[in-house]
Structure 1
Amino acid sequence: MTDASRKVIVLAAGGTGGHMFPAEALARELLARGRAVALVTDRRGHAFGDSLPEVPVHRIRAASPGGGIAGRLKAALQMGLGLLEARALLRRLQPAAVVGFGGYPSVPTVYAAAHAKIPALLHEQNAVLGRANRMLIAGARRLAVAFTTVARIDEGDRAKAVQVIRTGNPVRPAVAARRTSPYAAPAGNGPVNLLVMGGSQGARVFSEIIPQALARLPESLRARIHLSQQCRPEDLEEAGAALSGLGLGGLELQSFFRDVPERLAACHLAVTRAGASTIAELTCVGRPAILVPYPHATDDHQTANARQLAEAGAAWLVPQPDFTAETLAARLGELLSSPATLGAAADAAHRWGTADAASSLADAVLGMLGAGAGTNGANGNHHDHNADSIAKGAAE
């Protein structure tokens, strides 16, 4: 092992799952390749915990800009202190590279790396470049993305030497294991497995609209539908009462599904939000979906995510204002009576997705350092595109 390969690779991530899970997936892949890894997050961020005890966690100060002048000043002070902490940490660790996963807690560390001329790679999970990554892209050598086009990449940044590579967004190992699960469209009068998920705690709009939409379907079709739906705990009783009298073929309501990979593999159609992790899991397994973007997502990135899948023929985008009982009932009736349409969308989703994003991401990091990239996963779905193809027409 060379001296360079002994150097630690620092991962900087915000504390939410959308940022932290890709960081954990990359950490596992780098550790498997014999590289040392450290995580930097803020004092509130969740670490990898007991799952990766060999990864040391360093916490620095960071904050998102708050409301009002006082909030912005407080955030600026925290970020300034975090930058000093990050500079001291990087001087001590002397890392080979820094990888930023977005979220404001990544900003001080990646900014300090760029200032110290340490190679930096950014990973963007959504179809719109996040605010933290927009702040940092000028100092990065590579930008790894999950979508085929990414908005909010500035023209000036596109003209610089930053290399844009489509690696995909890592999924949980249990989801990746379902990559080869074949899709069998519902046939004849057979059962239809309908999966409804609105994030980890469900979405209230789904709890309100799904029962009303199903009630509008013919009784013969309702009898075929086996519904698995996530609901917020406070909505479970009301949703259950509304659904129980519809004569469904099967009904299961929970506030949290612990077996999402199995449910994804078994479903014929999903109704979900359009967050980056949800998109990655749907397309890894290859399942058609009606996507209802969360309307208050930053920069409306969920709509951008959903639009790319819809344009690929893998999903149907329904903005929340249009997500009514009437429109959903019509869409469900149309789709569930057309197995060929569902099958084509499942195939398109599978082609779009990948199960080896963590491997591709590790390749991108080590390739930036001139190290051997190693091999991709057995699924052979490595994505690599230049900056023009990723950011084509995407600046806003």
Structure 2
Amino acid sequence: MAQKILISTGGSGGHVVPATILYEHLKNQFQVFMTIDNRGVKFLDKNKYNIEIIDVPPISKNFFLLPFQFFMMIYIIIKSVIFLKKKKIDTLISTGGYMSLPLCLASKILNIKLLLFEPNIVLGRSNKFFIKSCKKIFCYTDKIKNFPKKYLNKINVIPALLRKEFYEIKRTENIDSCVNLLIVGGSQGAQIFDTLVKKSIVELSRKYTLKIYQQTNAFNFEELEKFYKNENINHSIFDFDEDISNIMSRSNLCITRAGASTLAEIVFLNLPSIVIPLPTSKDNHQFENAIFYNKMGCNWILNQNEIEDETITNKLGNIIDNKDEYLSKKLNMKNFSYQNTWNNINQKITFVINEN
């Protein structure tokens, strides 16, 4: 009988998207389930996955709410224990975040094999809490910040997880007659991108032929549409649910946040990018993600707190006018990604699951 695997996820797209990829890798060899919270449901198609909603409320800093949260957490842990026993789960894979805490604790109570997943270059707090209890932790490198040295042997390095459609599309083209600029803010949207970049785009549109692909959230959709129409700039506005792989393949330059999944996708498609890490990301993990690829010569990094009116305009202009560095970035990304195949990742993950 096939092993029963539970993938625990929730929260943002940065947690949910890798969980769905793991699900796709494992579904043909194992009986796979997925738990998710109410926040994360919007990032997947519920009809494609065998899911159960176990909602874990955010941990409040309000002192007076602590007793209530303590009893709520006990309740969710008990619920998780009952769920794991009922489904007869053999292995739990956690994608991190506070929403994983009850299930990871339940797996420890029941002595169920625990595997962790850490896509960032900084070890997440939840993963750090359970690193002693886990069997292995899947990472994209063994140079993880804040990782306890005595548990380094638990790291299992895999190529970056990508949705299957990324392996089926062509790599991005070079900048030629038109600059196809992709602006990506991540699953939460980056409202500052909607304001920070607009002035630069207007300036650049006077010198270059532009096509703008911009991801935004529902609140800013209409405003951006109106802006680009008024400025007579060719554009396509989309949200997180769109088929990002095809949009990336039509782009030849990118401005992005530094979420682990987005950077992995951009690098795989050899799409040179200006990365503006989110300054408020926990443990500054977005900056560390950006630096990881920057050291390989795959991107340019701008500090959001130091950006002035002309910073992005000048940077984009230099990239467009000076192709040597641009082409060098594409070559570096191609060399970095050559081992990233669906079968290679599949074999690495299933080998760890089948280990005693």
TM-score, shorter chain, exceeding 0.5: yes
Tell me if the contact between 1:168 and 1:357 (Cα under 8 Å) persists in the aligned partners: no
Q: Report whether the alignment pairs 1:279 with 2:263.
A: yes
Quote the residue 1:391 is aligned against. none
Alignment partner of 1:25 is 2:35: no
Equivalent residue number for residue 102 of structure 1: 96
Q: CA deviation at 1:245?
A: 6.3
Q: State the shift of 1:335 in Å.
A: 0.4
| Alignment-derived partner of residue 275 in structure 2 | 291
* Contact 2:164-2:342 at 8 Å conserved across structures: no
Match of 1:111 among 90, 100, 105: 105
Residues matched between the structures, number = 353
Q: Please tell me the residue identity of whatever aligns with 1:360.
A: I
Indicate the structure whose relative CO is greater, using CA pairs within 8 Å and at least 6 residues apart: 1
CA RMSD of aligned residues (A): 2.8
Contact 1:12 1:109 in 2 (8 A): yes
Distance 2:78 2:307 in 1: 47
Residue 46 of structure 2 corresponds to residue 49 of structure 1: yes
- Structure 1: runs of 5 or more not aligned: 372-396
1:21 shift after superposition: 2.1
With 358-367 and 95-104 compared, the bigger mean Cα shift is at: 358-367
CA distance in 2, matches of 1:91, 1:338: 60
Query: Could you give the per-residue CA deviations for residues 32-88 of structure 1, whole angstroms, max 9, x where no partner exists?
Result: 22x111223346652751113xx3x34446333211223333333222222222223
Counterpart selection for 2:166 from 172, 175, 181: 175
Match of 1:314 among 298, 302, 307: 298
Asked if the contact 1:86/1:108 (under 8 Å) is kept, the reply is yes
For residues 300 and 255 of structure 1, do their structure 2 counterparts lie closer, same or farther at Cα, with a shift above 3 Å needed? same
- State the match for 2:250 in structure 1: 266
Q: Which residue of 2 aligns with 1:66?
A: 60
**Contact 1:293–1:306 (8 Å) recurs in 2:** yes
What is residue 331 of structure 2 aligned with on the other side? 347
Conservation of the 8 A alpha-carbon contact between 2:94 and 2:104: yes
2:354 is the counterpart of 1:369: yes
Aligned residue number for residue 123 of structure 1: 117
Measured after TM superposition, the shift of residue 365 of structure 1 is: 4.6
Q: For residues 44 and 263 of structure 1, what CA distance do their matches in structure 2 show?
A: 25
Q: Does 1:214 align with 2:209?
A: no
Distance change in 2, residues 1:96/1:365 (3 Å):
farther
Query: Contact 1:193/1:225 (CA < 8 Å) preserved in 2?
Result: yes
Report the Cα offset of residue 255 of structure 1: 4.9
| Aligned with 2:33 (options 35, 38, 46) | 38
Q: Give the structure 1 partner of residue 132 of structure 2.
A: 138
1:195 equivalent among 169, 182, 190: 182
Quick one: distance in 2 between partners of 1:244 and 1:126?
A: 38
- What percentage of residue pairs aligned between the two structures are identical? 22
**Which deviations, in whole Å up to 9, do the C-alpha atoms of 1:193-251 show, x marking residues without a partner?**
111121246422222222322344483x33x2222223444445554565556675x33
Q: Which amino acid aligns with 1:264?
A: M
Q: Distance in 2 between matches of 1:176 and 1:70?
A: 50
Q: Please report how far the alpha carbon of residue 123 of structure 1 lies from its aligned counterpart in structure 2 after TM superposition.
A: 0.5
Distance 1:192 1:217, change over 3 A: closer
In 1, Cα distance between equivalents of 2:54 and 2:171 = 45
**1:227 pairs with 2:212:** yes
**Residues of 2 paired with 1:155 and 1:59: CA distance?**
35
TM-score normalised by L of structure 2: 0.87
Deviations for 1:358-392, whole angstroms, at most 9, x for unmatched residues? 86266335434338xxxxxxxxxxxxxxxxxxxxx
